[in-house]
Amino acid sequence: MNPVFSLPALISSRFEAVVGVDPELRAATKPQFGHYQTNVAMRLAKQAGKPPREVAQEIVEKVDLAGITEPLEIAGPGFINIRVLTSVLAKVATDVLNDPNTGIEKVEHPQRVIVEYSSPNVAKQMHVGHLRSTIIGDCFTRVLTAIGEDVKRENHIGDWGRQFGMLVEQILDEGIDASKLSLAEAEALYKRANAHFKEDEQFAELSRERVVKLQHGDELTRRIWRQLIDVSKAGFNETYRRMGVLLDDGDVVGESFYNDDLPVIAEDLESRGLAKMDDGALVMFLPGFEAPAIIRNSAGGYGYFITDLATIRHRVQSGAQRIIYVVGSEQIFHFNQLFAAARLAGYLPDDVVAEHVPYGMVLGPDGKKFSTREGTAVTLNSLLDEAEEHAAPSIALAAIKYADLSNALQKDYAFDAERMSKTTGDTGPYLQYAHARVSGILRKADAEGFDRDAVTVAAEPEEQDLAIKLSRFGEVVDQVAETLQPHRLCTYLFELAQSLSVFYERCPVLKSEGEVRRSRLAMCQAVKQVLARGLDLLGIEAPERM
Nearer to ligand ARG, 327 or 532 (CB): 327
Binding segment (CB under 6 A) for ligand ARG, from list 2-10, 113-121, 167-175, 439-447:
113-121
Rounded to whole angstroms, the Cα distance separating 468 from 31 reads 12
- Report the C-alpha dihedral over residues 119, 121, 125, 129, rounded to 10 degrees: -50
- Smallest distance, ligand ARG to C-beta of residue 350, A: 21
Specify the residue, 119 or 227, whose C-beta has the smaller distance to ligand ARG: 119
Find the binding residues for ligand ARG in span 281-320 (CB under 6 A): 308, 311
Is 158 an interacting residue with respect to ligand ARG (CB under 6 A)?
yes
Q: How far apart are CA 375 and CA 40, in angstroms?
A: 57
| Count of residues near ligand ARG by CB under 6 A | 10
Choose the binding region for ligand ARG from 13-21, 49-57, 117-125, 279-287 (rule: CB under 6 A): 117-125
List all residues 6 or more positions away from 315 whose beta carbon is below 8 Å from its beta carbon: 114, 154, 323
Write a three-state SS string for 259-315. CCHHHHHHHHHHHCCCCEEECCEEEECCCCCCCCEEEECCCCCCCHHHHHHHHHHHH
Q: What is the dihedral of CA 522, 523, 526, 529, to 10 degrees?
A: -100
E-strand ranges in 383-499 read 413-414
Select from 83-91, 116-124, 283-291, 344-352 the region that touches ligand ARG (CB under 6 A). Answer: 116-124
Shortest Cβ 26–ligand ARG spacing (Å)? 40
Alpha-helical (H) ranges within 507-540 are 514-537
The H helix count followed by the E strand count for the chain is 20, 13
Residue 116 or 138 having the CB closest to ligand ARG: 116
Contact between 121 and ligand ARG by CB under 6 A: the answer reads yes
Please answer whether residues 389 and 440 qualify as being in contact, where contact means their C-beta atoms are separated by less than 8 angstroms.
Answer: no
Minimum gap (Å) between residue 129 Cβ and ligand ARG: 7
CB of residue 378 to ligand ARG, shortest distance in Å: 15
Least distance in angstroms from the C-beta of 235 to ligand ARG: 14
Residue 325 in contact with ligand ARG, rule: CB under 6 A:
yes
Rounded to a whole number of angstroms, the minimum distance from the CB of residue 160 to ligand ARG is 10
Pick one of 189, 327, 357, 380: the residue that binds ligand ARG (CB under 6 A). 327
Task: Note whether 156 binds ligand ARG by CB under 6 A.
Answer: yes
Figure out which of the listed residues 94, 119, 227, 464 binds ligand ARG, where binding follows CB under 6 A.
119
| DSSP secondary structure, 418-449, as one string | HHHT-SSSSSHHHHHHHHHHHHHHHHHHHHTT
Query: What's the rounded Cα separation, in Å, for the pair 253 and 191?
Result: 26
Nearer of residues 316 and 417 to ligand ARG, judged by Cβ: 316
- Cβ neighbors of 288 (< 8 A, separation 6 or more) are 340
Contact residues toward ligand ARG (CB under 6 A) are: 116, 119-121, 156, 158, 308, 311, 325, 327
